[in-house]
Chains A and B, each alone.
Chain A
């Protein structure tokens, strides 16, 4: 089901968490809210769930104005960063919670719980308690619990934030596959641009309570709306007063029009990627990302003089620096 957020603002005391935010989330899509902490992304998610009420503006879920509805009437699934597992209930009881509240017949509940535990690869853990599960397992349980009530939208607040790097990678890929299977409109919050790029179809960049840009991962990376988005979704390096992706800079061995002379300070071999740190003739430092093959071909070495040329179609003029 689609979500339409219209001119939503929210303050906590003097702090402006959301400043006139409007956003549309398509039915069945997988959207990431990306931004630095304090940028308003969690508040926006909580406003959609009804866990916070906006000072002004409206939230529409599946074509119905839900702004005044309490969370229990919105039929949204919500997954918390720290799992929010019901510690005194078994895994099965946790997953069944929403169905028990809805007074569904016991057979139906048991069947649905079995099905969901299989979906999240926790079959066999039904009678354990949350304290007997690992972080990743707890989060999958929380996800099954949220999905049990067949929510109209699934909202995840930094769902992998408390997990270690390996488990996080695994769960990202798994969430992506799950979305392909279940097709529920999903919105998740993250401060990790790699996570957003890897999982989401649409990314919303939030900063200081405002939306900076909405777009696909490719659009955000290649056509960032402003300096902030450019810096947040990928690396930047500076060349002749322009911000540019470090892999969009060409290294030449001879001078050419529009190319800046530079001396190589260091060449770092990082597997497939080679990072070249340089000092431009005017004294400014910069860096370029290239491949191992190219670095070998150019025989790049420390102290060498080269010329740098920015890809003319890419990069942005620096406005404020």
Chain B
């Protein structure tokens, strides 16, 4: 009996110290000058543009990475090809490489003065670095693994019999995918989407390197938070942090609401 309580106390205490208290203090500090001060801080034109830009990142990176993640998981689990193990490991690269390094790597490829293909792109009038496309690429890079990592174990678990059954019943490969495979992995995909969204909302390092941090132009919400903090605008920094946290929590909440009881076991 008592050992069970000790375990609970330890687990909850650890979580509180590491996560609960710091995040709680962000909320407290955001509203230290009252609600209206916090509201004003996150509704300035710069702040609005920063949130808009972050949502653009999410809106592009999440669908593309979801499609890629599902296809990558299918290739890894269902197919045998040379280099499959390498491919599987490569998907985890964004977990292993620091986002700052990712940003610098993107500069080397797309930089308009001495980048690998950046010069050519600049001649065509396409600006990647210090502009939205580069920031989207950075966000996509760092949030790449989540969907694939969530879907791979689910695909392994469901096996191939349902798909074979669908084939014998007359379903072609596309029909089998949309009617049988996708519904079977949908909670893996959903959880991957939530994690991808949270990661895309919170990305700082890589985006910071490629953005050029032009206020009101290439400043995302996380960059806005840092900018406010550096300019001693604590209310602005904390209030924007609260908005980011609420967006991420909201995503989690949405998934838990739409997820039916039977799938929660």
A residues with CB within 8 A of B: 49-51, 70-72, 74-78, 80, 82, 84-89, 97-98, 101-102, 129, 131, 142, 145-146, 148-149
Contact = CB atoms under 8 A, between A and B. Distances in A.
Given A75-B170, A78-B168, 16 more contacts: A51-B167, A71-B167, A72-B168, A72-B170, A72-B172, A74-B168, A77-B168, A78-B164, A80-B161, A84-B161, A88-B183, A97-B166, A97-B169, A97-B171, A97-B179, A101-B169
B64 interface: no
A74 B167 CA distance: 10
User: Which label, helix, strand, loop or mixed, suits the secondary structure of the B interface?
Assistant: helix
A129 B262 contact: yes
B183 A149 contact: no
Contacts of A84: 161-162, 164-165
A80 B167 CA distance: 13
20 contacts: A50-B168, A51-B168, A70-B167, A71-B164, A71-B167, A72-B168, A75-B170, A77-B168, A78-B164, A78-B168, A80-B161, A80-B164, A84-B162, A86-B162, A86-B165, A98-B170, A101-B175, A146-B168, A149-B169, A149-B170
A72 B171 contact: yes
Contacts of B184: 86-88
B180 interface: yes
Given A84-B161, A84-B162, A101 B171 contact: yes
B248 to A, nearest CB: 28
A145 B171 CA distance: 13
A87 to B, nearest CB: 7
Contacts of A82: 161
Interface in B24-51: none
Interface residues of B, number: 18
A13 to B, nearest CB: 12
A72 B165 contact: no
Contacts of A98: 169-170
Nearest to B165: A84
A73 to B, nearest CB: 8
A49 to B, nearest CB: 6
A87 B165 CA distance: 12
Interface in B114-171: 161-162, 164-171
Central interface residue in A51, A102, A131, by most chain B CB within 10 Å = A51
A133 to B, nearest CB: 14
Contacts of A131: 262
A77 B169 CA distance: 7
A74 B183 CA distance: 25
| 5 residue pairs, one from A and one from B, having the closest CB atoms | A98-B169, A84-B161, A78-B168, A84-B165, A71-B167
Contacts of A77: 168
B257 to A, nearest CB: 19
A71 B167 CA distance: 6
A99 to B, nearest CB: 9
Contacts of B168: 49-51, 71-72, 74, 76-78, 146
Nearest to B161: A84
B188 to A, nearest CB: 13
A153 B112 CA distance: 65
B165 A80 contact: yes
Contacts of A97: 166, 169, 171, 179
Contacts of B161: 80, 82, 84
A101 B170 contact: yes
A91 to B, nearest CB: 14
A26 B231 CA distance: 87
Contacts of B180: 86
Contacts of B172: 72
A89 B164 CA distance: 16
Nearest to A102: B170
A102 B172 CA distance: 11
B238 to A, nearest CB: 43
Nearest to A145: B169
Contacts of A148: 169
Interface string B172-195: 100100011001101000000000
A82 B166 CA distance: 14
Contacts of B262: 129, 131
